[in-house]
Structure 1
Amino acid sequence: MNMELAFGGWSGILVLGLYGGLMLAVGLFAFLRHRGVRESLDEYYLGGRGLGAMVLFFTFFATQYSGNTVVGYPPTAYRLGYQYLVSVPFFIMIIMVYLFFAPRLYSLGRRFSLLTPVDWIDLRFRSKRVSVLAAILMLYGLGNYLLEQFVAIGQGVSGLTGGTIPYQVGVIFFIVIMVAYSWLGGMRSVAYTDTIQGLALLFGVFTLLIGSLIYLGGLPSAAATMAANAPQKLGAPTGTALTTWFCLLVLVGIGAAIYPHAFQRIFSARSERTLKRSFIRMAYMPFLTAGVVFMVGIIGISAFPDLTTAQSEQLVGMLANALANQNAFFYWAMVLLFGGVIAAIVSTADSVLLTFSSIISHDLYGRYVAPDASEYRKILVGKLVGVAAVVVLVLIAWYPPGTLYQIFVLKFEVLIQTAPALILGLYWRRLNTQAVFVGMLAGTILAAAFTFAGYRPLGVFSGLWGLSLNLLLCVGGSLLFGASPAQRERAEEIIAFPPSAAAARAV
Structure 2
Amino acid sequence: MIDNVNGVVFGVFIFLFLLVTVLGFAAARWRRADLDSLDEWGLGGRGFGTFIAWFLIGGDIYTAYTFIAVPATLYAGSAVGFFAVPYTIVVYPLIFLFLPRLWSVSHRHGYVTPADFVQGRYDSRGLALVIALTGILATMPYIALQLVGMQVVLQVMGIGTDTGNWFVKDLPLFIAFVVLAAYTYSSGLRAPALIAFVKDTLIYIVILVAVFYIPSQIGGWDHIFSTVTNGFADFNTENADAIAAGQAAPKATMPPQPLQWAYASLALGSALALFMYPHSVTGVLSTRSRSVIRRNAALLPAYSFLLGLLALLGFVAIAAGVKVDNPQQSVPQLFEDQFSPWFAGVAFAAIVIGALVPAAIMSIAAANLWTRNVYRAFINRQATPKQEATQSKLVSLLVKFGALVFVLALSKDFAINLQLLGGVWILQTLPAIVIGLYTRWMHRWALFAGWAAGMAYGTWLAYGVKSPVQDHFGGPLVNFPGTETKVYIAVVAVLVNLLVAVVLTVVLRAMKVDEGVDQTRPQDFHADAGDPGVEEELHPEAPAHA
Of 479, 482, 487, 1:457 maps to: 479
Of 307, 329, 351, 1:290 maps to: 307
Of 9, 13, 19, 2:10 maps to: 13
Partner of 1:254: 272
1:35-62, Cα deviation, whole Å (9 max, x unpaired): 5536311111111111121111111111
Assess, with a 3 A threshold, how the Cα gap between structure 1 residues 385 and 299 changes in structure 2: closer, same or farther: closer
Residue type at the aligned position of 1:370:
N
> What displacement does 1:471 show?
0.7
> What displacement does 1:86 show?
2.9
Residue type at the aligned position of 1:386:
S
Partner of 1:390: 400
1:195-214, Cα deviation, whole Å (9 max, x unpaired): 21111111111121122122
Partner of 2:42: 45
5+ residue gaps, structure 1: 325-329
Of 272, 282, 298, 1:264 maps to: 282
Assess, with a 3 A threshold, how the Cα gap between structure 1 residues 502 and 130 changes in structure 2: closer, same or farther: farther
> What displacement does 1:433 show?
0.9
CA distance in structure 2 between the partners assigned to 1:103 and 1:466 by the alignment: 27
Aligned residues: 494
Q: Secondary structure at the match of 2:188?
A: helix
Assess, with a 3 A threshold, how the Cα gap between structure 1 residues 495 and 417 changes in structure 2: closer, same or farther: farther
Deviates more, 1:432-441 or 1:409-418: 409-418
Of 320, 343, 353, 2:353 maps to: 343
Residue type at the aligned position of 1:222:
I
Of 108, 113, 121, 1:111 maps to: 108
Assess, with a 3 A threshold, how the Cα gap between structure 1 residues 100 and 482 changes in structure 2: closer, same or farther: farther
Partner of 1:327: none
Residue type at the aligned position of 1:296:
L
Partner of 2:316: 299
Q: Secondary structure at the match of 1:429?
A: coil
Partner of 1:319: 334
Partner of 1:208: 210
Residue type at the aligned position of 2:320:
A
> What displacement does 1:220 show?
1.1
Of 488, 496, 505, 1:478 maps to: 505
1:282-330, Cα deviation, whole Å (9 max, x unpaired): 022211x21111232233343228x68x365432134223322xxxxx4
> What displacement does 1:170 show?
2.0
Partner of 2:432: 421
Q: Secondary structure at the match of 1:454?
A: coil
* Contact in 2 for aligned 1:56/1:265 (Cα 8 Å): yes
* Contact in 2 for aligned 1:51/1:268 (Cα 8 Å): yes
Residue type at the aligned position of 1:96:
P
1:358-406, Cα deviation, whole Å (9 max, x unpaired): 1112221122211112111111122222223333332332232589749
1:490 is the counterpart of 2:507: no
* Contact in 1 for aligned 2:119/2:125 (Cα 8 Å): yes
Of 372, 376, 386, 1:362 maps to: 372
1:338-367, Cα deviation, whole Å (9 max, x unpaired): 111011011111011111111112221122
Of 180, 198, 201, 1:199 maps to: 201
1:433-469, Cα deviation, whole Å (9 max, x unpaired): 1111000011101111111122722322332221111
Q: Secondary structure at the match of 2:521?
A: helix
CA distance in structure 2 between the partners assigned to 1:322 and 1:27 by the alignment: 31
* Contact in 1 for aligned 2:446/2:505 (Cα 8 Å): yes
TM-score by length of 2: 0.82
5+ residue gaps, structure 2: 163-167, 237-250, 467-477, 481-485, 535-543
CA distance in structure 2 between the partners assigned to 1:223 and 1:108 by the alignment: 49
> What displacement does 1:226 show?
4.4
Of 330, 334, 344, 2:344 maps to: 334
Of 187, 190, 193, 2:192 maps to: 190
> What displacement does 1:97 show?
2.3
* Contact in 2 for aligned 1:219/1:295 (Cα 8 Å): no
Residue type at the aligned position of 1:294:
A
Identity rate of aligned residues, in percent?
A: 20
Q: Secondary structure at the match of 1:37?
A: coil
Partner of 2:474: none
> What displacement does 1:487 show?
4.4
Deviates more, 1:197-206 or 1:153-162: 153-162
Assess, with a 3 A threshold, how the Cα gap between structure 1 residues 30 and 226 changes in structure 2: closer, same or farther: closer
CA distance in structure 2 between the partners assigned to 1:313 and 1:497 by the alignment: 43
CA RMSD of aligned residues (A): 3.1
> What displacement does 1:155 show?
3.1
CA distance in structure 2 between the partners assigned to 1:173 and 1:244 by the alignment: 40
* Contact in 2 for aligned 1:89/1:249 (Cα 8 Å): yes
Q: Secondary structure at the match of 2:439?
A: coil
Residue type at the aligned position of 2:120:
L
Assess, with a 3 A threshold, how the Cα gap between structure 1 residues 85 and 390 changes in structure 2: closer, same or farther: closer
Residue type at the aligned position of 2:363:
L
Q: Secondary structure at the match of 2:77?
A: helix
1:16-51, Cα deviation, whole Å (9 max, x unpaired): 432332233223322234555363111111111111
Deviates more, 1:77-86 or 1:348-357: 77-86
1:243 is the counterpart of 2:261: yes
CA distance in structure 2 between the partners assigned to 1:403 and 1:315 by the alignment: 16
Structure number having the greater helix percentage: 1
Write out aligned runs for 1:440-455 (5 A).
440-454=451-465
Residue type at the aligned position of 1:314:
Q
Write out aligned runs for 1:84-95 (5 A).
84-95=81-92
CA distance in structure 2 between the partners assigned to 1:208 and 1:147 by the alignment: 27
TM-score by length of 1: 0.88
